Structure 1
């Protein structure tokens, strides 16, 4: 049995409300934080190197039999996200047949872009995966996809480029919310760490509650460490949802069905929620 619970943390500002007031001192040596970008956390969780933490929603679907999701935690948006951008040299209406450079830090958003372009626009696109450096990505591509703080930083200085928010495009085509990350828990560790998982889950929810009640310290923090205008950060966090209820679930499970339809997933997935107290709820959606 492991002595500590290994908890992942995405190295992006979009998860900060869940971590900002998290009481690490309370857990002392009982948990170990592992901070990585989403693609790295996806791999670490799949290998059993992380027990709990936010991973790409797409990666959750790939390993749904091995994971459950912590209730009421996600990174979602209904409409504009503000940190998931397609930067294009030409309007999206002219992108058919283009070459697009994809960030190597994402799974959910990469496949969301493919769903939007192939299912809704009915385009044929070629893709290449690169490090998330916009000017290098666009040297040999017509457009580039960036996520997280890389996207936020690039959008401030993107000139002569058409910039599209993928959350906004998804909502325009479907009317649904989109969930980009879920706090996943490996089923294999539940029995050994049940009470600790419940405490960690409760601490995440409390941090989210405190941040919502008073966002000023969070805004000051990101303004100091990541630059930008405070008003832009206020608007950004107002557009994000960190809940996972019916609205988020319905949109995400539709995304899974679209991904399966295009062969990006072997089959549609559903989300099992792990509630405080250890109860599990299958959220299977029938349509």
Structure 2
């Protein structure tokens, strides 16, 4: 018989996660789940330590721990082309950064390794890298370019003093033809084994919340405007280019990312995608 306890679920403190979390039915599912707000890097760390059971971890973090984690199907943060929140700010054109000094955000392993793949595999560069706290002004004071993600990237782009800006999702699509998956919903394997009933209920809750988030995106946009600022057209564009699905094309693109990362030595061993469930749930939870 399944054990019972509240699952500790990570919640990225970025606006890109809103359509999946905004309509999550905590009234019905509160007995199953406790949300833990975190930035991506801290969520990755706590998942690995075991203090968080599941959450939208960075795609690279899943690659590092695929032998301990399983994936929830039909959930990701992906884009085909521009993603708008994974940006390279540069003092000079991309092809002139081959031997430059690049500051990397300390908030996302996926994005910084994506940039390394693009720069070293596709452009043929070998710049020097420094991981720093996210601050456009401090990063660019010491370096030729920097990578910012999430709301830091959005705000910096809104207030850009004149740097060239490259979207890493767009660059990945240009060089590979694949969408890029930045985050996946991963679960520690022991949770799958010991708490499958609760996990399935929480999974259904996320799928239903995602469906409502897509159908009622206007409410999500209003929330983002009230809590973060920006115009309605900005958020309409932003949420329209993000995909929260995890279809065959998304999986193929992510597998290509893992294969290149392994080839370059960024990952220690080959990665295969492993799922908790074979299909999205069809039954619904009643309040």
* Equivalence map 1:107-256=2 (5 Å): 107-256=109-258
SS at match of 2:275: strand
Distance 2:252 2:280 in 1: 23
SS at match of 1:264: coil
Query: Structure 1 residues 277, 192: closer, same or farther in 2, change over 3 A?
Result: farther
TM-score under structure 2 normalisation? 0.94
> Is 1:86 matched up with 2:88?
yes
Give how far 1:273 is off.
1.4
The equivalent of 2:285 in structure 1 is: none
Distance 1:160 1:43 in 2: 35
**1:145-166 Cα distance to aligned partner (Å, 9 max, x none):** 0001110111001122000000
Query: Structure 1 residues 25, 140: closer, same or farther in 2, change over 3 A?
Result: same
Give how far 1:2 is off.
6.7
Distance 1:2 1:118 in 2: 47
Give how far 1:232 is off.
0.8
- More displaced 10-residue stretch of structure 1: 20-29 or 160-169: 20-29
CA contact (8 A) 2:78 2:179 kept: yes
Give how far 1:42 is off.
0.5
List 4+ stretches of structure 1 deviating above 4 A. Answer: 276-279
The equivalent of 1:72 in structure 2 is: 74
Distance 1:160 1:240 in 2: 26
SS at match of 1:138: helix
Match of 1:52 among 46, 51, 54: 54
Distance 1:2 1:24 in 2: 17
Distance 2:162 2:116 in 1: 24
The equivalent of 2:45 in structure 1 is: 43
Give how far 1:276 is off.
6.8
SS at match of 1:275: coil
SS at match of 1:274: coil
TM-score under structure 1 normalisation? 0.94
Distance 2:74 2:280 in 1: 14
The equivalent of 2:64 in structure 1 is: 62
Give how far 1:131 is off.
0.7
Q: State the aligned residue count.
A: 279
Query: Structure 1 residues 278, 228: closer, same or farther in 2, change over 3 A?
Result: closer
Distance 2:279 2:100 in 1: 50
Distance 1:149 1:278 in 2: 30
Give how far 1:267 is off.
2.1
